[in-house]
Amino acid sequence: MNKPLVALLSGAGISTDSGIPDYRGPNGLWRRDPEAEKLVTYEYYMGDPEIRRRSWRLRRENHVLGAEPNTAHRAVAELAEAGVPVRVITQNVDGLHQLAGLPARKVLELHGSARSVLCTKCRARGPMEDALARVAAGEADPPCLECGGILKPATVMFGENLDPVVLGEAVAVTKACQVFIAVGSSLQVHPAAGLAGVAADHGARLVVVNAEPTPYDGLADEVIREPIGTALPELLRSLRGN
């Protein structure tokens, strides 16, 4: 018997147990400090050197690169290891699905990766660790070493479009899957949020695992409010068909 294709849309909530705060939850960064949104808005970032300097300081302080995968990330990797076809579509930029052991080819990073930097002029890429080392050494706003252009994290900022190739692959996976699990996502940021509706429209079993209500709960076959660290591993074990 063929095992169902499982598509998992992961949002910030899956990584909070790894010490990475969410943005829109009750204690989220945007609710606590609305000004922080400017730091990841392309127009402000490109036009204001002080915004860039604050952004680099924040990156040094937020320790995303030091975060470790938690039980939920590991449960997804274990599902794949058990032979169940899995594709992760993530709104996160932390790379923790891959660190947990899920092959990079099975992860679609809709919002890019905070583990790399990108030059806005020549498009050269490099490790975020190297750029942060330059900040630590005294470069408040390190320019591109290739052309002198402005460096930014290889993430999709507010005001930037998603990579159309990655988004296209995500839509294709969503239409093809038999089970679609939205975990730790507010399902408010489009186009990612709309994938839940696409999955339901194409006959997938839709499961929402999130602490707070989402706009797609009414379409879901199952809504789980339990903590992700225990609820997701339990749910995924049931999909193994052992």
Vertex 172, ends 169 and 175: CA angle to 5°?
150
Measured over the CA atoms of residue 58, residue 111, residue 29 and residue 33, the dihedral's sign is positive
Q: Where are the alpha helices (DSSP H) in 100-227?
A: 128-136, 164-176, 194-201
Question: Of these residues, 73, 97, 111, 202, which one is catalytic?
Answer: 111
Give the residue from 140, 191, 119, 152 showing the smallest Cα distance to 41.
152
Are 232 and 17 contacting, i.e. CB atoms less than 8 angstroms apart?
A: no
Q: State yes or no: is 202 an active-site residue.
A: no
Strands (E), 184-220: 205-209
Tell me the residue type at 127.
Answer: P
Q: Residue 37 is encoded by which pair of tokens? A: 């949104």
Catalytic residues: 111
